[in-house]
Structure 1
Amino acid sequence: MNKAHHCLLCLGSNSNAELHLKQAETALGFLFPDIRWGKAVNTLPEGDQSKTPSYLNRIACFRTTLEANEVARICKEIERENGRTPEDKDKGLVPLDIDLLKYDNRVLKPADLSKDYVRKAMEAFPDKRKDRINRS
């Protein structure tokens, strides 16, 4: 039997954000039925905030038998399905961004874990026992 791995995602959008986060929730929920969601939180963009709209960010945790690279590939595919292009990113428009932050106890994006938008999204996770998402 394959081992179930714990995954922690952070999702964000600053372009038609409610729609794109809902579409991501539907797609990820279909693929990972045990997914748990934090509340969406409004956050400010990093860097030059005058040219970029604010974001909606959200944390999700789930278990899967897929390898980390496959989970990341699926996330990038969902981003593209929601209109994410390199050109939009250059303009500061992000229809959907999905980052695999942790896979089991392995932190894949250590710099992201300390970013304000990730911390705020993690604080909005309904399971108040923070060790649960920190282990995910």
Structure 2
Amino acid sequence: MHDILIALGSNVHSDNIMFVESCLVQDFYEVQSTAIVATDPIGAEFQGKLFYNAVVSCLTNLDKDDVINCLKHIEHIAGNTKQKRKEGIVVIDIDLLKFDNEILHEKDWQRQYIKELTKPFIID
């Protein structure tokens, strides 16, 4: 089993986070989610649009590439598109932050809300 952390974000509605969490329960094991927190946008194209964020911890038998493909598929079925992103609309953004001991999206780990949300799942 692989231990993974996943970051979720949306600037549309916090219900989108809950929808993704319900999808993750179907594809992964021992899914644990943080509370949803609201944050200010990062990037000029998103100004004026509050973001909703959460982190999910879970286990999987999939390899890293298959996990990433699964997460991209969930983004797609949730309604995320490149065109909406160009318009500043993030229906849902799902990023694999950690796969076993491998840290991904290192820039995201510098964000205060990621530091806070991942605290319950990180063992020093």
User: Which residues of structure 2 form unaligned runs of 5+?
Assistant: none
Residues 43 and 56 in structure 1, CA contact (< 8 A), matched pair in contact too: yes
Q: Deviations over 1:53-80 (max 9, x none)?
A: 1111000001111101111111111111
Q: Could you tell me which of 83, 99, 102 is aligned with 2:98?
A: 102
Range with greater deviation from structure 2 (41-50 or 94-103)? 41-50
Counterpart of 2:89, as a letter, is L
Write the distance in 2 (CA, Å) between the matches of 1:93 and 1:116: 22
Q: Is 1:18 matched with 2:22?
A: no
Cα 1:80/1:95, change in 2 over 3 Å: same
SS at 1:42 equivalent: strand
Q: Is 1:5 matched with 2:2?
A: yes
Q: Deviations over 1:70-122 (max 9, x none)?
A: 11111111111111111111111101111001100101211111123422433
SS at 2:89 equivalent: coil
SS at 1:58 equivalent: strand
Q: Could you tell me which of 78, 82, 85 is aligned with 1:89?
A: 85
Residues 35 and 60 in structure 1, CA contact (< 8 A), matched pair in contact too: yes
TM-score (norm 2): 0.90
Write the distance in 1 (CA, Å) between the matches of 2:78 and 2:64: 21
1:30 Cα deviation from its structure 2 partner: 1.2
TM-score (norm 1): 0.82
Counterpart of 1:12, as a letter, is G
Give % identity: 28
Residues 5 and 104 in structure 1, CA contact (< 8 A), matched pair in contact too: yes
Q: Is 1:73 matched with 2:61?
A: no
User: Which residues of structure 1 form unaligned runs of 5+?
Assistant: 128-132
Q: Could you tell me which of 21, 24, 37 is aligned with 2:33?
A: 37
Moved beyond 3 Å, runs of 4+: 49-52
How many residue pairs get aligned? The number is 123
Range with greater deviation from structure 2 (85-94 or 48-57)? 48-57
Counterpart of 1:77, as a letter, is H
